[in-house]
Amino acid sequence: MKRVVITGLGAITPLGNSVEAFISGLERGDNASVYMPEWEKYKGLRCLVGAPARLENEMLIPRQNRRSMGRLSIFAVQAAQQALGDANLPASTAGSGRLGCVIGSTMGSAESIAEAFETLLPDNDLSKLTSTKFFQCVSHTAALNVGQFLGITGTVMATNAACASGLQAIGAGYDLIRTGQQDIMLCGGAEGLHPTVVGSFDVLFAASSRYNHSPKETPRPFDAARDGLVCGEGSGILVLEEYEAAKKRKARIYGEIIAYNSFGNGSHVSESSREAITSCINETLKRADLTAADIDYINAHATATIQGDKEEAAAIRQIFGEKVPVSSLKGNIGHTLGASGAIELIASLIMMEKNLIYPTLNLKDPDQDCRGINHVMARQEKKIDILLKNCFAFGGINASLICKKPA
Amino acid sequence: MASEQEIIKMVNEVFVESFEIDKAKLAPEANIFNDLGLDSLDIVDLVVALQKKFAVTIRDDERVRNIRTLGDLQQFILTIKKEIGK
C-alpha cells in the first residue's frame, strides 16, 4: 500500500472564510452561535440559534458554473480552491486524470430543495422549475460542482452519511490513493444552514433550545447544562497526496493518514451506541497498528446532545481512560454536519503542527455521565504526534481516522 | 397591452437578470448561442423566465426551435403577445 499525506487545507467556516481566520477564531475562543430571527416564523421550531458562515465572493465564480451551485456547493468550491492553492498544485493537475475529489454532505442544498418545492407545489406546475435546480438539489452536488468548476477528470464521488460524510470522504480518498488508483484527492465535506435541517434535529429533541436568548452559551459539549446541538455550515477540503510524490515536489506536509475506519452500529437509527463507537475506534487503532497509549489527542465528535456525548465519553473512557486529552470544537462553530469531519480535522492538524490543544468551549462542568476522560477545558500546550478524529452520524454510522505528524 | 418597445425592453431584461449579460451586447442581430453565450441548459431557463415575465406558455411551441438571434426572439414574443391579444 502507498502512504497518504495531507498537503493542502481549505475552509469556509462560521468563524471565517479561510483556515487562518478559522484558527484565529479558535485562538480567541470565539463562539459563532447567533440568534436567528428569520426562523421565528416556523411553528414548532424550538431551536432559534445557528452558526452561519458568510456567503461572499460567489460572483467571482463564472455564471455557467455558479448556476448549478446551491449555498453548500459555493462553500465547497471556495474551500477546494483554497486547498489547491495551499498545496501549491497547478490548476492543470485537475485535468490529469490522476486527481479526483470525494466530497460529502448530509443532502443536496437544503435551501435549493426548499425553493424547488416552493416553486413546484402551489400549482403542481413543473414548467416553472429552472434547468439547474436539480444539480443544486442532488446528494452529490458538492462533488459534481467542484469537479466541474476545477475541470477534474479523475474520480468524482460523494459520500452521504449525514454527520460522518466529511470523514468518510477523506477515508474514501485515502483508499483511492493508497491502492494506487489516484495520486491526488480533494476530500472533505460541505453543508448549508437551513431551518429544515435544524428542524430534523429539533423534532428529535436533539437541538439546543434553552439558550435562544444567550446564544454564546450554547452548544455545550459534555457539559452538565448541555441541551442539544447548534447547526452550523461551511466546508472543509483537504488535499490528500501520495507520499513519495509529495516529498519529491517538497510539498508542505500537515500529516500522514495512517488509519481510517467506518462501522455501522446495527442497532438504532438515531441513538449512539458506546459499544459500536468503541468497536469503531478499536478497529481504527488496530489498522494503524497502535494502542490507546499511542494517541496524543482526540478530537471528539461531541455535538452537545444529551445522548450522543455520554456514549462517546463512555467509549473514550473505556479505551483511553483519563490519559488522552479530548476536546470538541462544536462549542466554537456548532455542528457543521457533513462538513464537520473535514473542518475539525483541519483544526486538529493545525493543533498537531503547533503542539497545542484548543479547549471545548462552554464546557464548565463536565456532566456526571461524561466524566472519567481527560477533558481539555483551557488552551493547553502539548506535544501531539498522533491524533484521532471521531465522527458519528444518524443512521448508526461511526467513523474514525488517525493522523501522524510528518517525520 | 405593452408597446412593442416595452416588450423588446422586457425581453432584454431577461438576458440581464437571468444570464448576467451586459446590456451593450444586446443587439437584435446577436446570436443567442454564439454571441450571448447561452447553452442548452440556459435555453430551458430562458423559456422559464420568458413564461414568467410575459405570462405566456411557450415551452411546447414549435416556433421556439427556429429562434437564433435576439431579434428572432423579440419578434417571436411580439407575435405571441399579439396572438393572445386577439
Check residue B1 and give its pLDDT: 64
List the catalytic residue out of A280, A301, A391, A403: A301
Q: What angle do CA A260, A262, A268 make, to 5 degrees?
A: 160
pLDDT at residue A295 tops 80: yes
Cell of A407: 517525520
The verdict on B44 touching A (C-beta cutoff 8 Å) is yes
Nearest to A132 among B41, B57, B59 (CB): B41
**DSSP character at residue B33:** T
**B37 chain-A contacts, CB cut-off 8 A:** 64
What is the nearest CA distance from B48 to chain A, expressed in angstroms?
A: 6
Over range A271-275, report the average pLDDT: 92
ipTM of the complex: 0.89
What is the nearest CA distance from A129 to chain B, expressed in angstroms?
A: 7
pLDDT at residue A161 tops 70: yes
The 10s digit of each residue's pLDDT in A79-104 is 999 999 999 998 889 999 999 999 99
Nearest to B59 among A67, A127, A130 (CB): A127
3-state secondary structure of B31: strand
Homologous superfamily of the A259-404 domain (CATH): Thiolase/Chalcone synthase (3.40.47.10)
Window 19-38 of B: residues touching A by CB (8 A cutoff) are: 19-20, 37
pLDDT in tens, chain B (86 residues): 678 999 999 999 999 999 999 999 999 999 999 999 999 999 999 999 999 999 999 989 999 989 999 999 999 999 998 888 76
**B45 chain-A contacts, CB cut-off 8 A:** 67, 130-132
Check residue B2 and give its pLDDT: 79
Average pLDDT, chain A: 97
Assign 3-class secondary structure to chain A: CCCEEEEEEEEEECCECCHHHHHHHHHHCCCCCEECHHHCCCCCCCCCEEECCCCCCHHHCCHHHHCCCCHHHHHHHHHHHHHHHHCCCCHHHHHCCCEEEEEECCCCCHHHHHHHHHHHCCCCCHHHCCCCHHHHHCCCHHHHHHHHHHCCCCCEECCCCHHHHHHHHHHHHHHHHHCCCCCEEEEEEEECCCHHHHHHHHCCCCECCCCCCCHHHCCCCCECCCCCECEECEEEEEEEEEHHHHHHCCCCCCEEEEEEEEEECCCCCCCCCHHHHHHHHHHHHHHHCCCHHHCCEEECCCCCCHHHHHHHHHHHHHHHCCCCEEECCHHHHCECHHHHHHHHHHHHHHHHHHCEECCCCCCCCECHHHCCCEECCCCEECCCCEEEEEEEECCCEEEEEEEECCC
The verdict on B55 touching A (C-beta cutoff 8 Å) is no
Separation CA A159–CA A166 (nearest Å): 7
Q: Shortest CA distance to B23 belongs to which of B38, B43, B9?
A: B9
Asked if B45 and A130 come within 8 Å (Cβ–Cβ), the reply is yes
Window 66-95 of A: residues touching B by CB (8 A cutoff) are: 67
Fold of A4-248: Peroxisomal Thiolase; Chain A, domain 1 (3.40.47)
**A131 chain-B contacts, CB cut-off 8 A:** 41-42, 44-45, 48
Find the residue in B nearest to A59 (Cα).
Answer: B20
The 10s digit of each residue's pLDDT in A247-263 is 999 999 999 999 999 99
**B52 chain-A contacts, CB cut-off 8 A:** 128
pLDDT at residue A41 tops 70: yes
CA atoms within 13 A on the CB side of A25: 24
Find the residue in B nearest to A125 (Cα).
Answer: B48
Over range A388-403, report the average pLDDT: 96
Nearest to A131 among B19, B45, B51 (CB): B45
The 10s digit of each residue's pLDDT in A194-230 is 999 999 999 999 999 999 999 999 999 999 999 999 9
Q: Is residue A391 annotated as a catalytic residue, yes or no?
A: no
List the catalytic residue out of A335, A370, A375, A391: A335
**B48 chain-A contacts, CB cut-off 8 A:** 127-131
Measured in degrees and rounded to the nearest 5, phi and psi for residue A30 equal -75, 150
Measured in degrees and rounded to the nearest 5, phi and psi for residue A200 equal -65, -30
Compute the residue count for chain B.
86
Separation CA A376–CA A387 (nearest Å): 14
- Percent of chain A whose predicted confidence (pLDDT) is above 70: 100
What is the nearest CA distance from A192 to chain B, expressed in angstroms?
A: 23
Q: Is residue A403 annotated as a catalytic residue, yes or no?
A: no
Nearest to B19 among A63, A127, A128 (CB): A63
Chain-centroid distance of CA A100 in Å reads 19
Check residue A8 and give its pLDDT: 98
Asked if A130 and B19 come within 8 Å (Cβ–Cβ), the reply is no
Nearest to A131 among B19, B41, B52 (CB): B41
List the catalytic residue out of A101, A137, A163, A403: A163
Window 123-182 of A: residues touching B by CB (8 A cutoff) are: 127-132
- The amino acid at residue A91 is A
Residue A118: exposure state from Cβ atoms within 10 A (0-12, 13-18, ≥19): exposed
Separation CA A30–CA A16 (nearest Å): 11
Report yes or no: A234 and A55 within 8 Å, Cβ to Cβ: no
What is the nearest CA distance from A63 to chain B, expressed in angstroms?
A: 7
Check residue B84 and give its pLDDT: 83
Over range A3-9, report the average pLDDT: 98
Chain-centroid distance of CA A137 in Å reads 20
Measured in degrees and rounded to the nearest 5, phi and psi for residue A82 equal -60, -45
A52: cis peptide before it, omega within 30°? no
Q: Is residue A301 annotated as a catalytic residue, yes or no?
A: yes
Domain ranges of chain A: 4-248, 259-404
Q: CATH number of B4-85: 3.30.70.270, 3.30.465.10, 3.40.640.10, 1.10.1200.10?
A: 1.10.1200.10
Residue A407 pLDDT grade (very low, low, confident, very high; cuts 50, 70, 90): confident
Name the strands in the sheet holding A34-35, side by side, starting at the edge strand that comes first in the sequence.
Answer: A34-35, A49-51, A231-232
Check residue B48 and give its pLDDT: 94
Chain-centroid distance of CA B57 in Å reads 13
The 10s digit of each residue's pLDDT in A47-69 is 999 999 999 999 999 999 999 99
Strand duo A184-191 + A99-104: pairing: parallel
Bridge partners, residue A35, by sequence: A49
3-state secondary structure of B69: strand
Over range A169-188, report the average pLDDT: 98
Contacts of B6 (CB under 8 A, 6+ apart): none
The 10s digit of each residue's pLDDT in A131-157 is 999 999 999 999 999 999 999 999 999
Separation CA A199–CA A47 (nearest Å): 8
Residue reference for cell 435562544: A212
**A127 chain-B contacts, CB cut-off 8 A:** 48, 51, 57, 59
